[in-house]
């Protein structure tokens, strides 16, 4: 297999470099701003030499444990699929909307849900 600074890199190489940067940030070698800047550059990198530039001033650390490979794709794809900002917060809004609707239109709600209205009347 050929190696060299101008060879294209894969997502696994980017993930490894990102883990390397996370470790150095956790140890206090990088500021938060510097960490974010370098992390963005890692995921934009396309060659080995571009990754090397981002970590050349950091000491070599023990390799972090590799990320498990999954059938659904790389870590970036999983993060995009699994994270939908505010999705859980929206679930809490539904009861509020129903309560407001019931307050504004009480007869309509009783007509739409006769069993629930009868159960409430028995209390």
Residue range 58-68, pLDDT digits in tens: 988 655 555 55
Task: Quick: pLDDT tens for 75-101.
Answer: 555 554 554 555 555 666 777 777 776
Task: Quick: pLDDT tens for 5-44.
Answer: 688 999 999 999 999 999 999 999 999 999 999 999 999 9
Total count of residues recorded for the chain: 123
Angle between helices 11-26 and 48-55 (to 10 degrees): 0
- For 32, the enclosing helix (H) or strand (E) is helix 32-44
- Three-state DSSP at 76 gives helix
Considering the entire predicted model, what is its pTM?
0.48
**Residues 43, 18: contact at Cβ < 8 Å?**
yes
> What band does 45 get if pLDDT is binned at 50, 70 and 90?
very high
């Amino acid at each position: 297999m050929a190696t060299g600074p101008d060879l294209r890199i894969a997502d696994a190489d980017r993930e490894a470099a990102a883990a390397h940067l996370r470790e150095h940030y956790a140890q206090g070698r990088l500021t938060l701003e510097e960490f974010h800047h370098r992390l963005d550059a890692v995921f934009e990198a396309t060659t080995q030499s571009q990754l090397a530039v981002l970590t050349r001033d950091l000491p070599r650390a023990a390799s972090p444990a590799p990320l498990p490979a999954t059938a659904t794709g790389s870590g970036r794809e999983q993060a995009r699929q699994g994270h939908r900002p505010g999705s859980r917060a929206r679930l809490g809004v539904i009861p509020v909307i129903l309560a407001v609707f019931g307050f504004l239109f009480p007869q309509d709600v009783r007509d739409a849900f006769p069993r629930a209205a009868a159960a409430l009347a028995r209390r």
